[in-house]
Amino acid sequence: MRILRFVGRRLLQLIPVLLGVVVLTFLLVRVLPGDPIRSILGPNATEADADAARARFGLDQPIWKQFLDYLGGLVTGDFGTSIQSGASVTGEMALRLGPTLELVFIAVSIAIVLAIWLGIWSARRADTVGDHSVRIFALFGNSIPEFWLGLVLILVGYAALGWFPAPSGRVDPDTNLTPLTGADLIDALITGNGPAISSSAAHLVLPVLTLVIGVLAPLLRSVRASALEVLRSEAYAAAAAHGLPERTLLRGYLRRATLVRLPSLAALVFGTALGSTVLVEYVYSWQGFGQWALRGLLYRDYPVVQASVLIIAFAYVLVFLIADVVHAWLDPRVKI
């Protein structure tokens, strides 16, 4: 019951936060240099054409009127009309968000599991060759640019070895996959399309691996540091001195105490990965949310930029809410 009250309070706090994001984003995108109408119509368009386009998208109205119209649309789930394509931003976002969420969720989930296993394993073997190897890998993951790593994996996995499909999309077009959620692997599983399942899974391997290496590094270092702190604590030494079995020490003391810090960092990593997948999506021609948001920014497409920033802000708040609940479950000392 306490958790439900806590979630309810945090959801109420979500309203002013998102409202602030809406206001700031609306104002900031309009002070960016460049005219979105001119960037779409091109240099040969007449002033009459530009005025007609501005009237079509409501850009000829006063700023306060544009904001009220935008705010009224948000209440009904309408993010506006894309200046670049003329299509509904809500519809475009629904097609683009699924592939990116699929990619980020799988990558972060794998990274969390590997970080827990490798971090605790490394801490229990501190200052050995295995521990140094794990630390070097974490340093490598922190330092290497994701777009460069993606290109290397393409050269090795596709061009040299031929183990994985070409980086030309998310699924082979001849699989006749019926789109439902935008996440191709999930859609293939829902529809029971065997060829699409194998094709989408194969296309996921390299981009997921690229994200996992970058996401794993900070999680791994955090888990290792927490595990070392627990191993050197008086409580763990006392439990070991009482002759508790190794399995009890690992599960009841080391693992649970180590994971206390992980939820908040995992939430931060998830939000960061969601907002920074654009380079990975470009390298692998993923056609996801990051590419869509960057294209909107380059073309000064106000509704697209506003919607993408709002979605990323909502994702941050939501994952941190989940992280706080998990943290409270792992650490009884936390009061919510």
* Segments forming the whole domain that contains residue 270: 96-300
Q: What is the mean pLDDT of residues 222-238?
A: 79
Alpha-helix runs per DSSP H in 125-277: 129-143, 146-154, 184-191, 194-231, 234-241, 246-248, 256-258, 262-275
Q: What is the mean pLDDT of residues 199-215?
A: 88
206 lies in a domain? yes
pLDDT at 226 over 70: yes
1 lies in a domain? no
Q: What are phi and psi of 78, to 5 degrees?
A: -100, 115
160 lies in a domain? yes
40 lies in a domain? no
Cα dist from 247 to 229, 240, 250, 257, 302, whole Å: 19, 11, 5, 15, 56
Q: So what's the pLDDT on residue 14?
A: 80
pLDDT at 7 over 80: no
> Which residue did the predictor score with more confidence, 2 or 108?
108
Share of the chain above pLDDT 90, in %: 1
Q: How many Cβ atoms from other residues are within 10 Å of residue 57's Cβ? A: 20
77 lies in a domain? no
Q: What is the mean pLDDT of residues 187-200?
A: 85
Share of the chain above pLDDT 70, in %: 94
- Beta carbons of 158 and 285 less than 8 angstroms apart: no
Q: What's the rounded Cα separation, in Å, for the pair 322 and 38?
A: 43
- Beta carbons of 298 and 33 less than 8 angstroms apart: no
pLDDT digits (tens, 9 = 90+) for 137-177: 888 887 888 888 888 988 988 888 888 888 887 888 888 88
Residue type for position 187: D
Q: What's the rounded Cα separation, in Å, for the pair 154 and 284?
A: 9
3-class secondary-structure state, position 225: helix
Cα dist from 279 to 54, 55, 276, 288, 289, whole Å: 32, 35, 7, 11, 11
125 lies in a domain? yes
Into how many domains does the chain fold?
A: 1
pLDDT at 115 over 80: yes
Q: Using the Cα atoms of residue 97, residue 99, residue 100 and residue 104 in order, give the sign of their dihedral.
A: positive
Residue from 113, 91, 144 nearest 259 by CA: 113
Q: What's the rounded Cα separation, in Å, for the pair 312 and 297?
A: 14
Q: So what's the pLDDT on residue 134?
A: 84
Q: So what's the pLDDT on residue 333?
A: 64
Q: What is the mean pLDDT of residues 264-289?
A: 81
pLDDT digits (tens, 9 = 90+) for 10-64: 778 788 888 888 888 888 888 777 777 777 776 776 777 777 777 777 777 788 8
Token digits for 70? 């935008």
The distance in angstroms from the start CA to the end CA of the chain is: 11
- Beta carbons of 95 and 307 less than 8 angstroms apart: no
Q: What's the rounded Cα separation, in Å, for the pair 235 and 123?
A: 17
3-class secondary-structure state, position 269: helix
Query: If pLDDT is split at 50, 70 and 90, which confidence band does 336 have?
Result: low
Lowest mean pLDDT: which of 1-10, 73-82, 181-190, 315-324?
Answer: 1-10
pLDDT at 280 over 80: yes
- Average pLDDT along the chain: 81
Q: So what's the pLDDT on residue 1?
A: 62
Q: So what's the pLDDT on residue 136?
A: 87
pLDDT digits (tens, 9 = 90+) for 239-273: 777 677 777 777 667 777 777 777 777 887 887 78
Residue type for position 7: V
Q: Please give the model's pTM, rounded to 2 decimal places.
A: 0.82
Residue type for position 109: S
> What CATH number should be reported for the domain holding residue 253?
1.10.3720.10
Provide Rg for the chain, Cα atoms.
24
152 lies in a domain? yes
pLDDT at 284 over 80: yes
Q: At what angle do helices 289-298 and 89-124 cross, to 10 degrees?
A: 120
Token digits for 266? 């995992």
154 lies in a domain? yes
- Beta carbons of 188 and 98 less than 8 angstroms apart: no
